[in-house]
Structure formats: C-alpha cells, structure tokens
Chain A
Amino acid sequence: KQEVTQIPAALSVPEGENLVLNCSFTDSAIYNLQWFRQDPGKGLTSLLLIQSSQREQTSGRLNASLDKSSGRSTLYIAASQPGDSATYLCAVTQGAQKLVFGQGTRLTINP
C-alpha cells in the first residue's frame, strides 16, 4: 500500500530565505507527483505536476524535483514571502486514477 510522508510537519522561517520541503513515497510505481498548496479552510491549489519520466518542474519561484527510484520529491521555494504561508501537500498518482496524499508541511514565513 502506497504511503506518502512529508517532512517536516511544520516549518517557520524568516522572509527572504530559500527553503526545501520534502516528500517521500514507498511505492515507485507512480504515474506522476503533484504539489498542492492549501490555505486554512480552503481547497487545494495545484502548484506543480511532475510526470514519472521527468526529473523536475519549475514555476516562478517554485522548483520541484522527482527521484522516482528512491521515492523522493522536493519542493524548493526561493526568496520566500509572507504570502507563501500555507500548508503544502504532495500527492502521487497511484494505479489508474487516485491520488495518495501526504499529511502536509505547514509553512509560516515571518515578515
């Protein structure tokens, strides 16, 4: 059974720092990996999608990498801003359809 783990569970950094969020998964037979942002009480906003054949994807200040063989992904956020404060979720597509989510990293950027 696929298990997705995110470390750390919470992270607090001063504004302007670069930071890395980690995601690991136990079964490397995935179609893709997706990073989401979730604000308190809100829905999930897709940030980046990495197909299983890809190594990384970039969008603005965000860069996500994928090492499928080792079951790891990282989300790099450059020059963090207070508006980046949110919970970041990673999820892998398992089998034909469903996403399996990690528990998230709660990120706080302090002005």
Chain B
Amino acid sequence: EPEVTQTPSHQVTQMGQEVILRCVPISNHLYFYWYRQILGQKVEFLVSFYNNEISEKSEIFDDQFSVERPDGSNFTLKIRSTKLEDSAMYFCASTSLPRGTGELFFGEGSRLTVL
C-alpha cells in the first residue's frame, strides 16, 4: 500500500542550527502538507503546498520556516536558526484531491529535538 515516508525519524540539533526535514508523498498526490505536534499538545497545521507554491500557512509558519519541492518526489521543510520551542514531532501529509475533500495520509513523523 502506498505510504508517505519521512526522514529522518529523529534529529537532535543545537539551538540556532538549520534543519531540513524530508518527505516523499504518495506518488500520484498533488497536495502536500506539514503539521507539527508538540509533546502533549494538539496536532497543528503549518503549511499546505500545491503546484509548487504555498496555498495556505498558519501563524506558526513564519520566516524561520520554508518549504520546497526540489524534484518530482521530495517535499522538504526547512527550519532556519532553530529554537528550543521548535522541538516537536513534524508530520508530512498528502492527498490527491483538492479543497480538503480527500482523505489525508500522514507519514510516521520526524521527531526534532532542539538542545
């Protein structure tokens, strides 16, 4: 069964360092998302991406964050100058249908620990 894959599964970094989290969405999907879950808190929307541009972003997704689809398969989230409060599980998701009508498929997540 097709699945969303994410790497790394866990990354530990020092505060102020740059981090890139990688995702390979399901191959025929066109809509891509990043969500995050701080330990013990709700899953929160960060950004949606379609046709090589951001469709929507939350107030969390400030200038520190960026997304990119560098080739036909990868979808990346870059966090510049990480802060302690960026420690969280980051989930990539994808769907084949627009306007929220389709089922969203999530990856296993990348756990980011900022020291």
Stretch with Cβ within 8 A of B (4 or more), from A11-19, A44-52, A76-84 = A44-52
Assess the B91–A43 pair: CB atoms within 8 A: yes
Query: B31–A43 contact, CB under 8 A?
Result: no
Annotate A84-100 by CB proximity to B: 1 below 8 A, 0 otherwise: 00000101011111111
> Is the beta-carbon distance between A96 and B103 smaller than 8 angstroms?
no
| B103–A93 touching, CB < 8 Å | no
Which residue of B is nearest A43, CB measured?
B108
Say yes or no: is A28 at the interface (Cβ < 8 Å to chain B). no
Interface residues on chain A, size class = 20 to 34
* Contact (A96, B56) CB under 8 Å given A31-B100, A91-B43: yes
A97: contacting residue among B33, B91, B105, B109, CB under 8 A: B33
Nearest CB to that of A91 among chain B residues?
B43
Residues in B with CB closer than 8 Å to A101 are 42-44
Q: What's the nearest-Cβ distance from chain A to residue B66, in Å?
A: 18
A13 to B72, CA, bound (A): 47
Chain B residues, CB < 8 A from A91: 43
* A96 with B100: CB separation less than 8 A: yes
Residues of B within 8 A of A44 (CB): 43, 91, 93, 106
Pick the contact of B33 from A51, A95, A98 — CB < 8 Å? Answer: A98
Known: A44-B106, A103-B42. A32 touches B101 (CB 8 A): yes
Please list the residues of chain B having a beta carbon within 8 angstroms of any beta carbon in chain A. 31, 33, 35, 41-45, 48, 55-56, 58, 91, 93, 98-109, 111
* Interface set of A (CB-CB < 8 Å, partner B): 31-32, 34, 36, 41-46, 49, 51, 89, 91, 93-104
